[in-house]
Amino acid sequence: MSGSAATRAMGGERAVAYVDPDAVAHNCARLLDALDGSRLCAVVKADGYGHGAVECALAALGAGASWLAVATLGEVEGLRDGGIEAPILIMGALRDRAELERAIELHADLTLWRERSVTLASEAAAQVSGEARVHVKLDTGMGRLGTRDPAEASRVLTAALAAPCVRLTGVMTHFATADMLDDDGFFERQLAAFAAWAGEVKSAHPEVLVHAANSAAVLREPRAHLDMARCGIAIYGLDPFGEDPFAHGLAPALELSSYIAEVKLCRIGESTGYGRRYIAERHDTHIGVLPIGYGDGFRRALSGNADVLIAGSRLPLVGTVSMDNVAVDLGPDPAAHELCGAEAVLIGSSGSERITAEELARRMDTINYEIACGLSARVERRRGPRAS
């Protein structure tokens, strides 16, 4: 296939991320099966971890999720603009009264952990003739948002119960090491601390939702499931433990591909890319140039440190990842020129070969979250599986 024909076949796009809503639905069904009656809250912050928030939210809700969670007010606005009416929990901090008022207008739930915040939420709700639905957060060990003091959390809870225009909806915590199986018992200590406090809340207020588990905790420990679990990474088919999503029955929802825009001979002593980090030393070879780079979120740390799938074969990336291009060693066979225009898979499968986000994360000593979230807006998102 010629380069121009390949470009037309890909809709003129240099790099495409294919996101399969059916995979998201499958993963939600898998998690609901593990939850065995507990509710599923699908976390769709950061544009659905780079997969598309509205589309993934719709897929998750269609598969049985009953709540959504985000980090910011703007993310709520995006979901509501997309026609989504489901309950949405804002897990992050809101900056001021104006943000509180807007969140309440959008019928979003708030995460609070200070008595003063309850007063502000009550005043904001009265101002917009609404109701502030609040979740009180106890920090059992994450060390970020939330109060570390169970007594203070109880005072916030009492204030929420007494304040006009406020409804206590939930109590929550967040695990710091659920994805670390060898964590010296820290996960268990967090769970025990939260269970002791939340158990008293639940006894006094049975209608309050108690929630703590993230994706890793759902797969790790049924005792953490409680009334609801807030799952993010697993609904996208990524392994919360950073190993193999297929081992947990998860289906990766995203595949990333580009195409070979140019094939050129690289003779012994010649190089490709900035800094001449790759020089043909043993024999003449052919270099395939893909129009994707760190401007698209394919990170520079993968320079000479990744493979690409072309026509079912795993081939090494060589030279420096630049903003707009990467290079692949196609080998010495002159027939390599015939690959110009061929699809190149950077995340996904081709033939019997597969490259996962987890593989790329290991190569860069990071996590699969960063691989998916790091794809830039320059990469077109298409709904549905990639045609293989």
pLDDT band at 13 (very low <50, low <70, confident <90, very high): confident
For residues 331-344, give the mean pLDDT: 96
Q: What is the pLDDT of residues 237-282, one digit of tens each?
A: 999 999 999 999 999 999 999 999 999 999 999 999 999 999 999 9
pLDDT band at 21 (very low <50, low <70, confident <90, very high): very high
pLDDT > 90? residue 8: no
- Select from 96, 57, 88 the least CA-distant residue to 70: 88
Query: Residues near 375 by Cβ (< 8 Å), separated by ≥ 6?
Result: 17, 50, 256, 296, 297
pLDDT > 90? residue 46: yes
pLDDT > 70? residue 383: yes
Q: What does the alpha-carbon distance between residue 328 and residue 314 come to, in Å, rounded to a whole number?
A: 10
**Of 18, 49, 274, 278, which one is the catalytic site residue?**
274
- Select from 97, 92, 130, 88 the least CA-distant residue to 111: 92
The whole-number pLDDT of residue 387 equals 87
Tell me if residue 259 is catalytic.
no
pLDDT > 50? residue 207: yes
**Of 45, 49, 236, 259, which one is the catalytic site residue?**
45
pLDDT band at 12 (very low <50, low <70, confident <90, very high): low
Residues in the chain: 388
The whole-number pLDDT of residue 274 equals 97
For residue 308, with 0-12 CB atoms within 10 Å meaning exposed, 13-18 middle and 19 or more buried, which class applies? buried
The whole-number pLDDT of residue 2 equals 41
pLDDT > 60? residue 6: no
The whole-number pLDDT of residue 232 equals 98
Mean residue pLDDT across the chain:
96
Q: What is the pLDDT of residues 47-95, one digit of tens each?
A: 999 999 999 999 999 999 999 999 999 999 999 999 999 999 999 999 9
